[in-house]
Amino acid sequence: MSIHTTIAPLDRAAMERAKARQDQLTKPAGSLGRLEELSIKLAGITGRLDPRLKDRVVFTLAADHGVAAEGVSAYPPEVTPQMVLNFLRGGAAINVLAKAAGARVVIADLGVDADLPDRPDLRALKVRRGTASITRGPAMTLNEAQTAVEHGRRLVAGEVGRGLDVVLTGDMGIGNTTSAAAVICALTGLDPAEVVGRGTGVDDAGLERKRDAVRRALEVNASSIAKGPLETLAAVGGLEIAGLVGVILEGASRRLPVVIDGFISGAAALVSAHIAVLKELELDPLLDLSLRLGEGTGAVLSLFLLDAAVAVLNQMATFDQAGVSQREGLIIESTTE
Amino acid sequence: MSIHTTIAPLDRAAMERAKARQDQLTKPAGSLGRLEELSIKLAGITGRLDPRLKDRVVFTLAADHGVAAEGVSAYPPEVTPQMVLNFLRGGAAINVLAKAAGARVVIADLGVDADLPDRPDLRALKVRRGTASITRGPAMTLNEAQTAVEHGRRLVAGEVGRGLDVVLTGDMGIGNTTSAAAVICALTGLDPAEVVGRGTGVDDAGLERKRDAVRRALEVNASSIAKGPLETLAAVGGLEIAGLVGVILEGASRRLPVVIDGFISGAAALVSAHIAVLKELELDPLLDLSLRLGEGTGAVLSLFLLDAAVAVLNQMATFDQAGVSQREGLIIESTTE
């Protein structure tokens, strides 16, 4: 089974124009480091040196995980629906940080194991009430995974009419760092000991249970994992992870910058890259703040860097405009060029 | 010789209140990582959980360096006055990034080796036209260093009436990474090979000249360096570095958060800490974007994190308010607590 997708290639000509302009701005070439790289990447994604970044939407997708019953999280599963209600009331970290960054928050229920209120600001896209435990078999069927991916795609498509320039990914789901770790191990071949972390903050015994759960999940689902990325997603992933795969694929196919939030979204990005047959993600984290919350908080915090990168590229004076002397003698390689 | 200064101690009670509140907000304790630490630090500095951060001013101080004649920079010394004019026209990176961050830019001439225009948006505080080369003797006299420090203090004091909630440091001066490296080596005992970098981007030969210049500066000024931090500043520092010492000391004495930009400002912060007899700076960089421009660009880029930290602390719901379950069983230590 596969998902039809077309990822737009980077616009190399726009990237060259952006690089040439960066080198003419009144600063040593490369001296704004990753801010320069970011402006060039944004030009490649959007095809523009001055991409519009005004309408930014964080898609925070929620679902429950059968594996949560096995003591892999410091929090009980009922926290998933409680946090969805907190999102809807505006009291969570993602609400506060999105507001500070001028981003809209779209909350969607892809598979929360509870009856949630029927209200327009909660997208009701429940595929099923939580996954089965990945330690005993597949988390969901292939059809369920594909449905969740399609829901994610339609969420993005639906926001375009309201204005959508930047897609940000977010997640909520007690137990979802276990599923995400299983997906990452399955697709990369990395050992659970390298990939599994403390998530929301389990103790040593919980960490060992979590690693063991991932190992068992990889064993019991080995034949599904061997079949491909969508099969892997269905076998050891989660419903919000599948939804985020759709969010990422739809954003990328529309030439929108997609900002990946962290571990859960990273697992979804890895599945997307495998579906799109990209060799590698070529991503480096923009921020390293020891965040481990999810929800989209890291993605939203990085928005200021996107704004800054585009502002530098478009608003700074060139050496010619400013009458500033360039380097003496031959142009030499600088440390970051 | 010493500079009279009182650095306000951190308000430990406010920090404890901020920490207690962070632990009650609807997220795993510590899961917003350094954003939480930052909100607690801001509470300690200002004595408030909701410090005002609205009026933020980057003090970009410019001066020339005699050592620039010795081939330590990829750019000729006339770039210093040219860039000051670029700052005044609003075309430099610091103008663009400060605008994006909602910060005012204060440009001051502490010692540019050129006649600059007489205009109200350029603070004319020239102590002398550039320093003497630190490789042959002291950069400036003790009186000149102290005058530059006082100018920096008065710059900050003068902005208070216009609104000043956050102080950001910035610099411009061809050759100033050489002086800053000499100051850092002199105060820390580190070897020039560890401290001296490529600055604006010198080639390998330039890097070797730069390291050699710092070594000679430390030798020829050894007796001054032995006397204390202000003597070290006068012997191997620069006029904008001395001005920034004043900016930092005045900001700290007024309980204002001071955001240190990078290498040059870091040298000034180190001198300030020695003057204030602080054992160590206890600073970790907020951003690691491979920036090497200076001007205050790194400081300004970090402002969004200050805003975000204070927003989280004040605007998020607590577990009680949101009806979200806390951890199961005993509270256990998480990875970052």
What pLDDT does B192 receive?
Answer: 96
Window A:92-121, CB contacts with B under 8 Å: 92-93, 95-97, 99-101
pLDDT exceeds cutoff 50 at A86: yes
Residue B292, token pair as written in the block:
């090497």
Tell me whether residues B293 and A27 touch, CB distance under 8 A: yes
β-bridge mates for residue B171, sequence order: B61
Indicate the pLDDT class of residue A184, thresholds 50, 70 and 90.
Answer: very high
CA distance A321 to chain B (A): 9
Mean local confidence (pLDDT), A9-21: 94
Strands, sheet with A56-63, edge to edge from the N-terminal-most edge strand: A122-124, A103-111, A56-63, A166-172, A258-259
Cβ–Cβ contact A182 with B under 8 A: no
B290/A33 CB distance under 8 A: yes
Please say whether the beta carbons of B69 and B206 come within 8 A. no
The answer to whether B207 contacts chain A (CB < 8 Å) is no
Q: Averaged over A201-216, what is the pLDDT?
A: 94
pLDDT band at A335 (very low <50, low <70, confident <90, very high): very low
Q: Is the Cβ pair B301, A304 closer than 8 Å?
A: yes
Read off the pLDDT band of B336 (50, 70, 90). Answer: very low
Q: What angle do CA A176, A179, A180 make, to 5 degrees?
A: 85
- Once rounded to an integer, what is the mean pLDDT over residues B268-278? 86
Determine which helix (DSSP H) or strand (DSSP E) holds A170, and give its type and residue range.
Answer: strand A166-172
So which residues of A are the catalytic ones? 295
Asked if pLDDT for residue A337 goes beyond 50, the answer is no
Cα–Cα distance for residue pair A167/A160, rounded to 1 Å? 10
Residue A329 has pLDDT above 80, yes or no: no
Q: A58 phi and psi, to 5 degrees?
A: -95, 125
The lowest-confidence range among A99-103, A108-112, A323-327, B277-281 is B277-281
Name the minimum distance, in Å, from the CA of A258 to any CA of chain B. 19
3-state secondary structure string, chain B? CCCCCCCCCCCHHHHHHHHHHHHHECCCCCCCHHHHHHHHHHHHHHCCCCCCCCCEEEEEEEECCHHHHHCCCCCCCCHHHHHHHHHHHCCCHHHHHHHHHCEEEEEEEEECCCCCCCCCCEEECCCCCCCCCCCCCCCCCHHHHHHHHHHHHHHHHHHHCCCCCEEEEEEECCCHHHHHHHHHHHHHCCCHHHHCCCCCCCCHHHHHHHHHHHHHHHHHCHHHHHHCHHHHHHHHCCHHHHHHHHHHHHHHHCCCCEECCCHHHHHHHHHHHHHCCCCCCCCCCCCCCCCCCCCCHHHHHCHHHHHHHHHHHHHCCEHHHHCCCCCCCCCCCCCCC
* Cβ–Cβ gap A301/B35 under 8 Å: yes
Report the mean per-residue pLDDT for chain A: 90
- Interacting residues of A305 by C-beta distance below 8 A, sequence separation 6+: A35, A38, A286, A287, B289, B301
Q: Is the pLDDT of residue B332 over 60?
A: no
CA distance B327 to B239: 55
The per-residue pLDDT for A286 is: 80
The yes-or-no verdict on residue B250 having pLDDT over 90 is yes
Q: What is the per-residue pLDDT across A49-61, written as a single tens digit (0 to 9) for each? A: 999 999 999 999 9
Mutate which of A289, A300, A313, A321 to disrupt the B interface (most B C-beta within 10 Å)?
A289
Q: What totals of helices (H) and strands (E) does chain A contain, helices first?
A: 15, 5
Name the least confident of A194-203, A212-221, B215-224: A194-203
Q: Locate A108 and state its tokens.
A: 């969607």
How many other C-beta atoms lie within 10 A of the C-beta of residue A162?
A: 10
Mean pLDDT of chain B: 90
Q: Considering CB atoms only, which of B75, B317, B333 is closest to A86?
A: B317
Where is average pLDDT lowest: A34-38, A181-185, A297-301, B72-76?
A297-301
Confirm or reject contact between A24 and chain B (CB < 8 A): no
**pLDDT per position as a tens digit, A217-259:** 999 999 999 999 999 999 999 999 999 999 999 999 999 999 9
Quick check: B28 and A201 CB within 8 A?
yes
8 A C-beta contact, residue B76 and residue B87: no
Q: Which of B56, B96, B320 to mutate to test the interface with A (most CBs of A within 10 A)?
A: B96
- Under the banding of pLDDT at 50, 70 and 90, the label for residue B12 is very high
Provide the pLDDT for residue A334.
33
Instruction: Count the neighbouring beta carbons within 10 Å of the beta carbon of residue A71.
Output: 15
Per-residue pLDDT tens digits for A112-163: 999 999 999 999 999 999 999 999 999 999 999 999 999 999 999 999 999 9
Interchain CB distance below 8 Å, A332 and B30: no
User: Å from A223 to nearest chain B CA?
Assistant: 35
Q: Is the pLDDT of residue A28 over 50?
A: yes
H or E, element range at A172: strand A166-172
Q: Which of A301, A311, A337 sits opposite B96 (nearest CB)?
A: A311
- Tokens encoding B195: 């401290």
B219, two tokens? 């030798």
In this predicted structure, what is the pLDDT of residue A276?
A: 80
* pLDDT confidence of residue B184: 96
pLDDT score for B337: 27
What gap in Å lies between CA A66 and CA A135, rounded to an integer?
A: 9
Mutate to test the interface with A, among B95, B325, B337 (most CBs of A within 10 A): B325
d(CA B169, CA A126): 51
What span, in angstroms and rounded, lies between the C-alpha atoms of A245 and A268? 5
Tell me which residue in A26, A197, A307 faces B83 most closely, judged by beta carbons.
Answer: A26
Between CA B326 and CA B179 the distance in angstroms is 53
Cβ-Cβ contacts under 8 Å between A and B: the total is: 221
Dist CA A319 CA A335 (whole Å): 20
Comparing B125-139, B185-199, B290-304, the range with the smallest average pLDDT is B290-304
B151: buried, middle or exposed (CB in 10 Å: 19+, 13-18, 0-12)? buried
Does residue A144 contact residue A234 with C-beta atoms inside 8 Å? yes
Question: How many CB atoms sit inside 10 A of residue B209's CB?
Answer: 18
Contact B325 A86 (CB under 8 A): no
Task: Kindly report the nearest CA distance between residue B85 and chain A, in angstroms.
Answer: 8
**Average pLDDT of the residues in B228-237:** 97
